[in-house]
Amino acid sequence: MSDNTVQGVNGEERSSLTPEESARIRKRSLKLLGELVRPVRGRVILTMVVVILSTAAQVAGPALIAFGLNQALPAVLDQADWAPAFLAVGALLASGIVGAVLISWYTILSARVSQAILLDLRLRVFAHTQDLSLDFHESYTSGRIISRQTSDLDAIRELLDSGINQLVSGVLYMSFTAVAMVLLDPISALVIAIALIPLFLLGRWFQRRSQVLFRQQRVASAQTIVKFVETMTGIRAVKAFRARRRNEEEFGEKVENLRGINARVIGLFGIFDPGLILIANVSVAVIVLVGGLRVAGGSIAIGTLLAAVLYAKRFFDPVEDMAMFYNSYQSAAAALEKISGVLEEEPGVPAPQTPVALHTPRGHLEFQETTFGYGNGVEILPKFSLEIPAGQTIALVGATGAGKTTLAKLMSRFYDPTSGRVTLDGVDLRDLDDAHLRRAVVMVTQEAYLFSGTIADNIALGNPDATREQIIEAARAVGADTFIEAMPAGFDTDVNKRGGRLSAGQRQLVSFARAFLADPAVLLLDEATASLDIPGERAVQNALQTLLASRTAVIIAHRLSTVAIADRVLVMEQGQIVEDDTPEALISGTGRFAKLHAAWRNSLV
Amino acid sequence: MSSPSVFSSLWRLREYARPALPRLALGGVAGLFAGLLALAIPLVLRELVDGPLASRDTALIIGAAGIVLALGVAEAATVAVRRWLVLTPGTHVEAAMRNAMYERLQDLPVSFHDRWQSGQLLSRQGTDLGLIRRWLAFGIILLFVNLVTIVVGTAVLFTWHPLLGGIFLLISVPIWIYGFAFEKRYAVVARLSQDQTGDLATSVEESVHGIRVLKAFGRGRHALRGFTRQAQDLQGTEIKKAKALAGIWLWLVLLPDIGFALCLLGGIWLASLGQISVGELFAFFATATILRFPLESIGFLLAMTLDARAATDRFFEVMDEPITLADPEAPKHIENPRGRLEFDDVHFRFPDAPAGTPDLLDGVSFTVEPGHTVAVVGLTGSGKSTLTALASRLYEVTAGSIRLDGVDLRELNRDDIYANQSVAFEEPTLFSASIRDNVLLGREDTKSDPETAQKSLDRALDVAQADFVRRLPEGVETVVGEEGMSLSGGQRQRVALARALATDPKILVLDDPLSALDVNTEARVEEGMRRDYGTTSTLIVAHRPSTVQTADHVVLLHEGRIHDAGTHRELLERSAEYRFVLSSLDEENTR
Ligand SMILES: Nc1ncnc2c1ncn2[C@@H]1O[C@H](COP(=O)(O)OP(=O)(O)OP(=O)(O)O)[C@@H](O)[C@H]1O
Ligand SMILES: Nc1ncnc2c1ncn2[C@@H]1O[C@H](COP(=O)(O)OP(=O)(O)OP(=O)(O)O)[C@@H](O)[C@H]1O
Ligand SMILES: [Mg+2]
Ligand SMILES: [Mg+2]
């Protein structure tokens, strides 16, 4: 089982992992990295080549000046020969131009690479979170997804933006110098080789420690984002329930936690970096000592020693860059771990392997020996079977919490049943092509969620191809046109965050118009008129009568006025359908519905 | 857009950066020092190789190695000291700014939050503050150190030879000119990119919060297309940024190199004329080479500064938003709260209401007497929710006043209002916490007096008919999903109602709190309210006659005014409008 402890987003908040877990996570992040780099590998290689060339041009500059001073100047002074001088100046100009052009080309190239990778990653995460089913979203809050898409991506971006340059030029520089060193003076090279051991150990130490810290940093950052998002979403409740002070404390703690981790990350680097410099400088001192003694012994020339010492110094020059690279690599790796975890999550409602098409749905729904529970072990719908013939209008009633919404969610495949099947026109929903299913079955959810954007945009979500006339027509059909036209910009009025510009009833009307526009074979209305006034509800009822004539509909409502337009009533109680008949039969009977209906009638005026 | 200059923008940071300044300044000094040491080491090495080492005296050799070692250790130590000095203060500044912004945001009125997407706010307190921290810890110090190096270095160049120094200075003039052009160009895209990042975060948030709608309509791909467009826009902006940077970098590398070439030519010429010695020429180039890196680094340091500036602007844009609903200077206190809520000629209109239209609330007056229940009835969009929001001072009346026990709400501290008054909103906004924490959100004695809190919790849950929570897998400790989405609609609403009841308020403001309940449950809730909260004044918005019936007094809101008021019976008898709004029996009901 230990294999599953870090599957997907499991164990995401843990920072110390067993070696096997680490290995598994590393494999998964590297795989993702590979997938991301593959499409741009041509450009990555080009970028590397440009870096190599521009490094060469940069190195050439000082060499040419040295040439100018050491060779060309004496030539002018001694022989009045200007040729080497012009050569040096010309070459210097040329290398300057080439170097400058290459550097600026590199800047653009590397931005293209890093932006292409980031775009790819953003879209992957977005698409994948859309594919994941509701059970995932219920436990993995939006704040965490947002933090994956923002702060985690920032970490990766930092690596991509400067990483290639630092890595390539650093490695290049070090290996050239190393080769030169071995050729020049193997013994000094040996000292450097020995210095690599503490260097490696220090690197290991840094990796171990920083890995844990960077993981903690990702988690802490996500926690502040989660708290932040939740506070902003629920700002009214925060204010009205005097939660401000407590929130400030709580958020402050999270911020302080994040700050502490950041400080520790930086502190760690503050040891790593001078540590590297120390190792470098000590090895130079050792080379001076060993070399000096050898010079004294006469085994090497003083000039060789000077060169060896300068090379050694230069060998360690890019160490700081490399340390920086390693640091941002570790940080990006921690971010990639989290992102790859989300991407590894399997949708609880998987897409069919071989999707069955349903081009002309009739709307015949059937539950066969179905049971259902939401992953927490409680069975919400015990085993039942139910057939809804095409074209029937069903009123689904029952006490709150009875399982009405749950039933509707199974019909629109928000979830799959724990056992048994749900079929549409004889096809198991699990096998049905998702696009066809969504076109055939539309649910107006209990929460009328509107996206920021115009009213027209929100209605058009029902059918993005709809014309303006169709949108207006849909609004008119549900009686939403009057209030929309009274808005400052009519259909183009921005509804603000979450539709906050509209009243609750207005939001419901817009959601309704949206469903109307989608024109599905099966329409599921979950308390779609609960916030409407009575005249508005009556108008919607009338619209429904024409709208539902040719389609299957399940109307969930506590206001039993819907029953008037239903062909059949289902009464639910604690997850079971306890009554099922025509409205007339049930009302005239003595069962629960008769009582419920009587109570409701009595409440009317 | 008249934007403040880079300097005056960033200068505002001093408010938060002040405590960090001494350490940052010391860090700058350590940085200069470390730079000097790094420069000195190669020179010292050369000297040692030429001197003591060449002497072939073992003692001197060991001594020389010792000097090298000491210098090396010193360099590592100054680097360590610099890092130690510079890096933690940055995190403190960042944290202080983050907390300040959060605090401010919680204080800003609801009307602000209506307008601002939380993705925008999020990116301002996240990514943006990170940019500022890094700029404070690296950018400004390096910029300072490098500028000093350039100025000093150029001056030194002049001492070697005025002509060569002049050439070098002249050649760097275009850099400054180009620098200004770059600043303009880059500043625009830097800002744009940060704004687009915020919009992207908003889209992510909406796509998750609205996931049920997107799934219900199968519009995941549609949302992805929109998101792709936005992400590509951001990508385009980032490339533009890179191009601007590439532009200035080209000059920053090219011009010094041209300068070198010209100086080399001029130097050799001067040397041939005997105007400069070979040694001086060597020294000139040694110094000039040192200037290379500082010059090149100006490009990304400038970019970093402009990024930090855009981030600072964005930060202060939020911080500068006025708190239009602030607590009064000299708040009054209600000594003996009785729960009398009085609307006196209340006017309200939203800022974006078209000119010429009447106010949304156009002179509303009525009173909720202590212990009474007043129901507000009206058509969709008539302003009922707005009225309740005014009563809890989430919005501010545009004219008239609302008084709590005779005191204008504007003269009370907001927390004093909420200590006496509790709200249940139309949307039951729950938090992803345990049911207990959700219900007890408004109580401040959960820790100090857990027994009373528990009693209130139990009573509230009972009255709100929310005893189902006790049958949940972990009872009241069960954590409800984000926004309570792992509860049924009616369950969510009952928990939100329980949350309002659990503070044992003097006044309850309930906005359509029973809309998701079935008739029987509704009746039980009403009965419980009468029994256990009978002495609590209640302002309740309702669409259903069953709820309205229980009220002592009903006001009918129509076109911004109180069209009629009285008991349910009276209104039903005398008001055609009332029958139109509330009656479903008579299908022929018309005005
Ligand atoms: N996402 C979920 N995770 C766990 N349990 C859930 C989830 N959604 C609903 N439940 C539980 O399933 C039961 C049935 O909920 P459902 O939403 O189907 O009720 P409902 O009949 O629609 O009620 P209402 O009229 O209040 O909307 C409830 O007890 C609820 O707590
Ligand atoms: N933030 C806002 N900015 C501008 N106009 C708004 C805003 N919020 C609401 N409105 C408008 O004010 C009017 C009253 O809205 P309110 O929410 O008070 O209605 P309501 O009576 O509660 O309706 P319902 O019964 O549907 O809940 C509506 O026309 C609405 O469009
Ligand atoms: Mg429901
Ligand atoms: Mg309302």
Residue B213 · residue A445 · CB < 8 Å: yes
Q: Does residue A412 sit in the same domain as residue A330?
A: no
Q: List every span in chain B annotated with CATH 1.20.1560.10.
A: 4-319
- Residue A264 in any domain: the answer is yes
Q: Does residue A281 sit in the same domain as residue A420?
A: no
What is the arithmetic mean of pLDDT over A27-53?
91
pLDDT at A372 over 90: yes
- Residue A144 in any domain: the answer is yes
Surface-to-core class of residue A359, CB atoms within 10 Å of its CB (0-12 exposed, 13-18 middle, 19+ buried): exposed
The number of beta carbons lying within 10 Å of the beta carbon of residue A384 is 17
Residue B441 at interface with chain A, using a CB cutoff of 8 Å: yes
- Report the interhelical angle of A186-233 vs A153-184 (nearest 10°): 180
Write out pLDDT tens, residues A85-110. 888 889 989 988 998 999 899 999 99
Alpha-carbon gap, residue B179 to B587, rounded angstroms? 76
Of A344, A377, A394, which closes a domain?
Answer: A344
Tell the residue nearest (CA) to atom 31 of ligand 1. B487
The continuous run of DSSP H or E covering A109 comes out as helix A83-131
Residue B72 at interface with chain A, using a CB cutoff of 8 Å: yes
Write out pLDDT tens, residues B473-505. 889 999 988 888 889 999 999 999 999 999 999
pLDDT at A3: 54
The number of beta carbons lying within 10 Å of the beta carbon of residue B448 is 9
Q: Does residue A306 sit in the same domain as residue A407?
A: no
Angle at B10 between CA B4 and CA B16, to 5 degrees: 130
Scanning every residue of chain A, which has its alpha carbon at the shortest distance from the alpha carbon of B197? A150
Interchain pair A151, B258: CB under 8 A: no
Residue B61 at interface with chain A, using a CB cutoff of 8 Å: yes
In this structure, what token pair is assigned to residue A308? 């060896």
pLDDT at B590: 43
Nearest in space to A423 (alpha carbons), one of A358, A488, A486: A358
Strand intervals (E) in A357-440: 365-374, 378-388, 393-398, 419-424, 427-428
Residue B186 · residue B237 · CB < 8 Å: no
Q: Within a 13 Å sphere around the CA of B547, how many CA atoms are in the beta-carbon half?
A: 26
Write out pLDDT tens, residues B506-543. 999 999 999 999 888 999 999 999 999 989 999 999 98
Q: What confidence category does residue B591 fall into, taking pLDDT thresholds of 50, 70 and 90? A: very low
Write out pLDDT tens, residues B122-168. 999 998 999 999 898 888 888 888 888 888 888 878 887 888 888 88
| Lowest-confidence pick of A405-419, B258-272, B447-461 | B258-272
DSSP 8-state secondary structure symbol assigned to residue A432: B
Q: Does residue A321 sit in the same domain as residue A381?
A: no
Total number of domains in chain A: 2
pLDDT at A208 over 60: yes
Bridge partner residues of B561 (DSSP): B558
pLDDT at B378: 94
Nearest in space to B581 (alpha carbons), one of B357, B362, B382, B365: B382
Q: Does residue A83 sit in the same domain as residue A122?
A: yes
Residue B488 at interface with chain A, using a CB cutoff of 8 Å: yes
pLDDT at B588: 45
Q: Which CATH number fits domain B4-319: 1.20.1560.10, 3.30.930.10, 2.60.40.10, 2.40.50.840?
A: 1.20.1560.10
Q: Is B386 in the pocket of ligand 2 (CB under 6 A)?
A: yes
What is the arithmetic mean of pLDDT over A219-227?
93
Alpha-carbon gap, residue B360 to B369, rounded angstroms? 25
Alpha-carbon gap, residue B248 to B174, rounded angstroms? 10
What is the arithmetic mean of pLDDT over B271-292?
78
What is the arithmetic mean of pLDDT over B550-565?
93
Handedness of CA B237, B238, B243, B244 (dihedral sign): positive
Which are the contacts of A194, defined by CB distance < 8 A and separation ≥ 6? A283
Q: Does residue A84 sit in the same domain as residue A176?
A: yes
pLDDT at B4: 65
For chain A, how are helix, strand and coil distributed in percent, rounded to 5?
70, 10, 20
Tell the residue nearest (CA) to atom 8 of ligand 2. A501
Nearest in space to B236 (alpha carbons), one of B204, B205, B203, B200: B200
Ligand 1, CB within 6 Å, residue ranges? A 138, 374, 376, 380, 398, 400-406, 446; B 486-491, 516
pLDDT at A194 over 80: yes
pLDDT at B28 over 80: yes
Beta-carbon pairs below 8 A across chains A and B: 518
Angle at B207 between CA B202 and CA B213, to 5 degrees: 140
Superfamily of domain B413-515: P-loop containing nucleotide triphosphate hydrolases (3.40.50.300)
Alpha-carbon gap, residue A525 to A531, rounded angstroms? 13
A415: left (phi over 0), alpha (psi -120 to 50) or beta: beta
CA dihedral A171, A174, A175, A177 (to 10 degrees): 160
The number of beta carbons lying within 10 Å of the beta carbon of residue B239 is 17
Residue B508 · residue B368 · CB < 8 Å: no
CATH topology of domain B339-406+556-591: Rossmann fold (3.40.50)
Alpha-carbon gap, residue A420 to B1, rounded angstroms? 63
pLDDT at B108 over 90: yes
Cβ contacts (< 8 Å) between B445 and chain A: which residues?
A: none
Q: List every span in chain B annotated with CATH 3.40.50.300.
A: 339-406+556-591, 413-515
Characterize A441-464 residue by residue with b for buried, 16 or more Cβ atoms within 10 angstroms of its Cβ, and e for exposed.
bbbbbbbbbbbbbbbbbbbbbbbe
Distance (angstroms) between ligand 3 centre and the Cα of A574 equals 13
Q: Does residue A26 sit in the same domain as residue A101?
A: yes
- Top residue of A114, A146, A250, A574 to mutate, by most chain B CBs within 10 Å, is A146
**pLDDT cut 70: percent of chain B above it:** 96
Which are the contacts of B159, defined by CB distance < 8 A and separation ≥ 6? B165
Q: In what order do the strands lie in the sheet with A419-424?
A: A378-388, A365-374, A419-424, A427-428
Interchain pair B265, A85: CB under 8 A: yes
**pLDDT cut 90: percent of chain A above it:** 54
Q: Does residue A31 sit in the same domain as residue A175?
A: yes
- SS3 at position A485: helix
Nearest in space to A553 (alpha carbons), one of A542, A564, A568, A540: A568
Alpha-carbon gap, residue B125 to B121, rounded angstroms? 6
pLDDT at A555: 95
DSSP one-letter string for A43-106? HHHHHHHHHHHHHHHHHHHHHHHHHIIIIIHHHHHHH---HHHHHHHHHHHHHHHHHHHHHHHH
Q: What is the CATH number of the domain that holds A53?
A: 1.20.1560.10
**Atom of ligand 1 at shortest distance to CA of B489?**
27
Of the listed ligands, the closest to the CA of A404 is: 1
Alpha-carbon gap, residue B449 to B434, rounded angstroms? 19
Of the listed ligands, the closest to the CA of A526 is: 3
Distance (angstroms) between ligand 2 centre and the Cα of B539 equals 18
Quick one: how far is CA A41 from the chain centroid? 23
pLDDT at B3: 56
CA dihedral B257, B259, B262, B266 (to 10 degrees): -130
pLDDT at A197: 93
Nearest in space to B244 (alpha carbons), one of B186, B187, B297: B186
Q: Does residue A386 sit in the same domain as residue A527?
A: yes
**Enclosing domain of residue A591:** 365-448+520-603
Q: What confidence category does residue A253 fall into, taking pLDDT thresholds of 50, 70 and 90? A: very high
pTM of the model: 0.91
Alpha-carbon gap, residue A253 to A260, rounded angstroms? 10
Phi, psi of B392 (to 5 degrees): -100, 20
pLDDT at B256 over 80: yes
Which H, E and C letters describe B42-88, residue by residue? HHHHHHHHHCCHHHCCHHHHHHHHHHHHHHHHHHHHHHHHHHHHHHH
pLDDT at B412 over 90: yes
Which H, E and C letters describe A205-230, residue by residue? HHHHHHHHHHHHHHHHHHHHHHHHHH
pLDDT at A1 over 50: no
pLDDT at B48 over 80: no
Handedness of CA B88, B94, B100, B106 (dihedral sign): negative
What is the arithmetic mean of pLDDT over B384-398?
94
Residue carrying structure tokens 């004093």: B416
Cβ contacts (< 8 Å) between A258 and chain B: which residues?
A: 95
Of the listed ligands, the closest to the CA of B386 is: 2
Which H, E and C letters describe B287-351, residue by residue? HHHHHHHHHHHHHHHHHHHHHHHHHHHHHHHHHCCCCCCCCCCCCECCCCCCCCEEEEEEEECCC
What is the arithmetic mean of pLDDT over B372-394?
94
Higher pLDDT, B173 or A130: A130
Cβ contacts (< 8 Å) between A229 and chain B: which residues?
A: 118, 122, 205
- Residue A484 in any domain: the answer is no
Distance (angstroms) between ligand 2 centre and the Cα of B360 equals 9
Higher pLDDT, B179 or A235: A235
Higher pLDDT, B331 or A317: B331
Which are the contacts of A597, defined by CB distance < 8 A and separation ≥ 6? A560, A563, A586, A587
Determine how β-strand B537-541 pairs with β-strand B507-511: parallel
> Considering chain B, what is the average pLDDT of its residues?
88
Write out pLDDT tens, residues A435-475. 999 999 999 988 889 998 999 999 999 999 999 999 999 99
Residue B558 at interface with chain A, using a CB cutoff of 8 Å: no
Interchain pair B72, A596: CB under 8 A: no
Interchain pair A281, B486: CB under 8 A: no
ipTM entry: 0.91
